[in-house]
Amino acid sequence: MVADKAVPRLFGTNGVRGVVNSEGMDCQFALRMGMAMGTYMKGSVMIGTDARTSNEMLKSACASGLMATGCTVLDCGIVPTPTLQYAVKKGNVAGGVVITASHNPPEFNGIKAIDPDGTEMSRANEEAIERIFHSGDFTRAEWTRIGRTIPQTTAIERYIGGIMSVVDVAAIRRANLRVAVDCSNGASSLVTPKLLERLGVRYVTLNADPNGAFPGHNSEPTPENVGDLVELVKAGEFDFGFVHDGDADRTIFVDDTGRYLYGDRSLAICAHHICKEKEGRLVVTTVGSSMAVEDAVRMAKGNVIYTAVGSPVVARVMMQKGGIFGGEENGGLIFANFQYCRDGAMAAAKILDIVAKKGKLSKLNDMIPQYHQRKKKTRCPDAKKQVVLSELAISAKGERIDTTDGLKIFFKEGWVLLRPSGTEQIFRIYSESKDPARADELVEQYKKEVEKIVKG
Ligand code: MG
């Protein structure tokens, strides 16, 4: 998808992001964004932040804008994004706002809008806010109707209670599990240790105090950033380890042997065991996900639907088609029986539930076929993106293809996914195969192919 030229786009795949006090992400922007969101939402609005140094500044400005339009601001303080989403879903409010830059470096921050049902805001609603933002046509409440801010203190307790109502607490308690958790100095520091206590799970924490300087490591749970957690799990007696990103909508697991499990592994493990509970269940994931997910679902007699990349798309297709579980390959898992958004603490609770009943995480991982994925990108001007896509489609004639998002070409021994970026002048090339050498070969071959078309 290329940006709409008529209304300059502000929201990316996961809200508006930028470096604080430059790139437009300053208090004036937050104030104006608050006024635009308030004009659109009209009513009570839940607001929360992750643990960044700029949160108070951006939250105050945004809340001022909301109040100027007459909205009541319900301030949940520092909370994981899914905790705020659950508060919105349960709160009968007009919407939500999260001040977060998720896993980005500490100098970043962002603003994300939540629909009244607790899902990430749909693109159509974001466009309506962008139109108001650019037009400057804001509601300006009369002095008697200006909003106020009311602190909320129950969001975390309600969220923990909600998770405990959808997992098998008795089985988890009986299993006497022990885990290591890395909160990445993010918002989960205030939630996940409490949840583990309530579930009767013994735990050791790393980086479990909110600190916007991220002294432990950057808040993206990549293998390079979570070396301490891997070492801790290897050195001790743990059932597994896990790490949340900065706003805790994602979780990455380390199995009992200290192996880092990429997000598609926990996606596949959860999908398999959730589908096993009842035949014919539906799992939703993006075209970028590993074949391991489809294999795991089929082994449990379930079905998979593929969507375009982006968790809001996955969540909406789950709602429309009755998907029981879904997610992305980056550790963002969505549980329909809890809420339609990526949820880091819920993912940890579900894996605890599965391990309590089915045994070691390393064994559960080994049951599912192993694939190798490769990701590359190359420069491609916006004007050339469609040409590249059509020429690639012509050259793929005769092969099985999927055009849900970009072009996916299936081969006997794997696939390639070719996608123009919606926000940058780049083309992404992904490949996957059970044979690592073939995955390398496919990604290189198609990167060259894209570059050739761009040049020509
Ligand atoms: Mg995140």
Q: Which two tokens stand for residue 414?
A: 């794997």
Q: Is the pLDDT of residue 278 over 50?
A: yes
Q: Which two tokens stand for residue 294?
A: 């489809």
Distance from Cα 180 to the centre of ligand 1, integer Å? 20
Q: Is the pLDDT of residue 159 over 60?
A: yes
Q: What is the pairing mode between strands 407-411 and 251-254?
A: unpaired
Distance from Cα 252 to the centre of ligand 1, integer Å? 12
Average pLDDT over residues 112-125: 95
End-to-end Cα spacing for the chain: 23
Nearest to 410 by CA among 399, 418, 398, 420: 399
- Whether pTM exceeds 0.85: yes
Q: Which two tokens stand for residue 354?
A: 């599965």
Average confidence score pLDDT of the chain: 95
Active site residue 102: yes
Distance from Cα 104 to the centre of ligand 1, integer Å? 9
DSSP state of 210: -
pLDDT in tens, 146-157: 999 999 999 999
Q: How far apart are CA 131 and CA 443, in angstroms?
A: 39
Distance from Cα 240 to the centre of ligand 1, integer Å? 21
CATH number of 158-366: 3.40.120.10
CA angle 394, 396, 402 (to 5 degrees): 105
CA angle 377, 216, 46 (to 5 degrees): 80
What is the second-level CATH architecture of the domain 373-455? 2-Layer Sandwich (3.30)
According to the CATH classification, is domain 16-153 in 3.40.120.10?
A: yes
Confidence of residue 417 (pLDDT cuts 50, 70, 90): very high
Domains 16-153 and 158-366 share a fold: yes
pLDDT in tens, 79-95: 999 999 999 999 999 99
Q: Of 64, 102, 184, 290, which residue is the catalytic one? A: 102
Residue 210 CA to chain centroid, in angstroms? 20
Q: Where are the domains of the chain?
A: 16-153, 158-366, 373-455
Confidence of residue 2 (pLDDT cuts 50, 70, 90): very low
Q: How far apart are CA 10 and CA 112, in angstroms?
A: 11
Give me the residues paired with residue 19 across strands: 108
Distance from Cα 390 to the centre of ligand 1, integer Å? 33
Average pLDDT over residues 11-36: 93
- Out of 4-18, 184-198, 210-224, 260-274, least confident range: 4-18
Average pLDDT over residues 409-433: 92
CA angle 100, 101, 106 (to 5 degrees): 110
The amino acid at 32: R
For the chain, the farthest-separated pair of C-alpha atoms sits apart, in whole angstroms, at: 69
Distance from Cα 450 to the centre of ligand 1, integer Å? 30
Q: How far apart are CA 276 and CA 299, in angstroms?
A: 9
